Structure 1
Amino acid sequence: MKPRVQITLTPLQHNNLRLVAIHFGANDNVKNHVMAFDDVRYSKTYSTFYTVYHENVINELFDHFRDKGWYVDYSGFKSNTSKSNKKIEFKDNYKLPSLNMEKLKELEGFKKWLQQKRFSQNTVHTYVEVTGLFLRYLESKDIASLSTRSIEQFNYDFIFKTKKSVSYQNQCISGIKHYFGFKGLTTEGIEIERPKKDKKLPTVLSKGEVRAILDVTTNLKHRTLLSLVYSAGLRIGEALKLRPNDIDTARGLIKVKSAKGRKDRYTLLAPSLVPLLESYIAHYRPNSFLFEGRSEEAYTQVSARQVFKKALSMAEITKYATLHTLRHSFATHLLESGTDIRYIQELLGHNSPKTTMIYTHVSSTNLSEIKNPFENL
């Protein structure tokens, strides 16, 4: 079995500046991926790659390397626990016991089984990861058999007590149930109640806020990427998978291939965006992907998120927003301009109109038509 790549993140202090040192074995592919992370530099003094420390950088680095399925040791940034404490700290996944070679091979087989069922890459990675944690949990508790009870114990100790999100809890349950199927075990009688997700309304940026974000983004690639995500209502993963020939300027359309649910669809190409897009293509000459990082690989989601975060800060927008907020804003602005919700559903690639209907709750047009009773007091 090919050895798993390990990345180690450690604190580094230089001239009163907090840094994150990034250590890894000699490997050109790993080196290129490390360098693809924004603001990474190499220190000859310390003989290591590093980046500046900030509140979210460890999570961003973890996501950056997780995309490759690599092991990330960031224990140097965790508070020290008492050595006399014998309890397993489930907030730190890596303090669970390691799996033996037999179990690792089994997990690899589970991964291939999921891939053959054509699950998305992200779903495969998540299911394998949570199943691995489940098996390590069973090892820590000396539980030999797979059962409803063992899942319930894992659910309580690892998910509920550590305050994992509802979404993550559902992913864990789904991953473990698929593992049962892989093992040929029946799931009859295994009724783990799934918690209902909170019905939260999406954050929406005003047209003025979107304009401000684009105005402060002067880098040609970054401005084109953010403009395309908003103007076409794309998920960031869809935008980064686009290829140059997916852009149909003659018809004013963008073809989104193998989107969520493995469906192709067409969405809008704004006419006013075409000059910017053509200028970007002429300058960067993308080959494999429309937005490329180094070595013609697709631009990473981590880098894209950093671009958006920087633009938010420069535009002095304080409301919480992510790249997906641009997609929400696209849909809401279409609804406010009078576009039929069935067309919006098609442009977004939603299976059910119920999903698209959420934008009726955040549309200011509909709300503004309601006469406030305060006016009649």
Structure 2
Amino acid sequence: MLNRACREITGFSSLLQRLERNISILGRSQSTFKNYARHIASTALHFGCLPTDLDPEQVKDYLYELQQRSVMPSQSYFKHTVYGLRFLLRTEGLPYDYLALPSISKEKKLPVILSREEIWGMLQSADLLKHRLLIGLLYSCGLRCMEVRRIELKHLDFDRKLLHIVQSKGKKDRYVPLSDHIIRGLKTYISVEHPTTYLFTGNSFNQKDLNTGYSQRGVQWVIKSICKKAGIYKDVHTHTLRHSYATHLLEDGVNILLVQRLLGHSTIESTMVYLHVCQLENKKVHSPLDTVFELCRRNGK
């Protein structure tokens, strides 16, 4: 689609170059560029001109058509078209009202959480050690799909029992604890498979990913197939294991600020969503003065 737009739409190639440059300068990922560029190219091909040459009424008609065409509850194609056009206007120095782009309210949905029994069921259902480790790392370290795919041998610190997550979302590093169970499995896996750079290498879905890390599609296939085998009927994705990690930590009494740091969240608001799904013991509200008196009584004061 991008190549076709570059061939057929005058000025699209230079617009695309500016978009890629500005996205890189702002610290956004290459996947963000590809996603925005794809939707911008689709809009350009639909009208046969650059999106910045359109008038607001044309854009409204196009967005309405996309909205009616969408069968997904989230209308993700519609939303990402708006996001792509917004970013294009921003990089071209134009205001959002230049194309009268609508505001999109963020959906307030609670995450799907797996029980500890379901996590155990997934681990037991994985026949390959590689797949057990994949599930174990996603859950026990609260990793994003991109993060587990990019683990290199040099990121594993078995002595300190830590995993170094390098330049993840927001270009941030962080360390997370490694379970003793995971460390034993990793040592066995490394001794048998002899990976050289990436911990998980290659798959049959994308030839370009061979020896350069697991593909996103490969990780998703593992999660879906093992959930099916374990008899889990929830809508489970790779991020579900991360959601479950955060929720279970809060249920275990870990401070929410520490959970925020372990997840790599920029703001506490992102972490607070898990307070709505975790099951905490109901404690009777009391006056802190009662605690002071009780403490003094114990100390004989």
Which category of TM-score, normalised to the shorter sequence, fits these structures? Answer: 0.7 to 0.9
Q: Cα offset for 1:265?
A: 1.1
In 1, distance between residues paired with 2:13 and 2:183? 49
Contact 1:107-1:128 within 8 A present in 2 as well: no
Corresponding residue for 2:62? 154
1:255 to 152, 156, 164: 164
Corresponding residue for 2:88? 179
In 2, distance between residues paired with 1:182 and 1:350? 26
2:219 to 282, 304, 308: 304
The structure richer in strand per residue is 1
1:336 to 239, 248, 251: 251
Gaps in structure 1 of 5+ consecutive residues? 5-68, 72-96, 371-377
Corresponding residue for 1:63? none
Residue 242 (structure 1) aligned with residue 151 (structure 2): yes
Identity of aligned residues (%): 30
Q: Secondary structure at the match of 2:242?
A: helix
Q: Structure 2: which amino acid aligns with 1:314? A: K
In 2, distance between residues paired with 1:144 and 1:197? 26
**Within 5 A, what are the aligned runs for 1:194-209?**
194-209=103-118
Q: Cα offset for 1:188?
A: 5.4
Q: Cα offset for 1:254?
A: 1.0
1:354 to 248, 266, 269: 269
| CA 1:144–1:215: 2 relative to 1, 3 Å | closer
Q: Cα offset for 1:288?
A: 2.4
| Most deviating of 115-124 and 271-280 | 115-124
Q: Cα offset for 1:169?
A: 3.5
Q: Cα offset for 1:196?
A: 1.3
Contact 1:231-1:330 within 8 A present in 2 as well: yes
Corresponding residue for 1:18? none
2:37 to 105, 123, 128: 128
Q: Runs (4+) of structure 1 moved beyond 6 Å?
A: none
**Within 5 A, what are the aligned runs for 1:255-294?**
255-293=164-202
Q: What CA deviation, in whole Å up to 9, does each residue of 1:194-244 have, x standing for no partner?
A: 221221111111111100100110201111111111000000111101111
| Most deviating of 339-348 and 108-117 | 108-117
In 2, distance between residues paired with 1:107 and 1:287? 40
Contact 1:244-1:290 within 8 A present in 2 as well: yes
Residue 214 (structure 1) aligned with residue 129 (structure 2): no
| CA 1:143–1:362: 2 relative to 1, 3 Å | closer
Contact 1:230-1:330 within 8 A present in 2 as well: yes
Contact 2:40-2:84 within 8 A present in 1 as well: yes
Q: Cα offset for 1:270?
A: 1.1
Q: Cα offset for 1:274?
A: 0.5
| CA 1:214–1:99: 2 relative to 1, 3 Å | same
Q: Secondary structure at the match of 2:280?
A: helix
Contact 1:128-1:175 within 8 A present in 2 as well: yes
Q: Cα offset for 1:159?
A: 3.2
Contact 1:143-1:150 within 8 A present in 2 as well: no
Q: What is the CA RMSD across the aligned residues, in angstroms?
A: 2.8
Q: Structure 2: which amino acid aligns with 1:149? A: E
Q: Secondary structure at the match of 1:278?
A: helix
Q: Cα offset for 1:349?
A: 0.7
Gaps in structure 2 of 5+ consecutive residues? 204-209, 285-301
Ranked by relative contact order (alpha carbons within 8 Å, sequence separation 6 or more), the top structure is 2
Corresponding residue for 1:66? none
In 2, distance between residues paired with 1:143 and 1:270? 51
1:364 to 273, 279, 298: 279
In 2, distance between residues paired with 1:278 and 1:105? 48
Q: Structure 2: which amino acid aligns with 1:239? A: V
| CA 1:229–1:130: 2 relative to 1, 3 Å | same
Q: Structure 1: which amino acid aligns with 2:140? A: S
In 2, distance between residues paired with 1:273 and 1:217? 14
Q: Structure 1: which amino acid aligns with 2:181? A: S
Q: Cα offset for 1:119?
A: 1.7
In 2, distance between residues paired with 1:246 and 1:70? 37
In 2, distance between residues paired with 1:317 and 1:252? 31
Q: Cα offset for 1:152?
A: 2.1
The structure richer in helix per residue is 2
| CA 1:148–1:113: 2 relative to 1, 3 Å | farther
Q: Structure 1: which amino acid aligns with 2:156? A: I
**Within 5 A, what are the aligned runs for 1:45-194?**
100=8, 102-106=10-14, 108-117=16-25, 118-139=27-48, 145-163=53-71, 165-187=74-96, 189-194=98-103
In 1, distance between residues paired with 2:78 and 2:66? 9
| CA 1:325–1:369: 2 relative to 1, 3 Å | farther
Q: Cα offset for 1:170?
A: 3.6
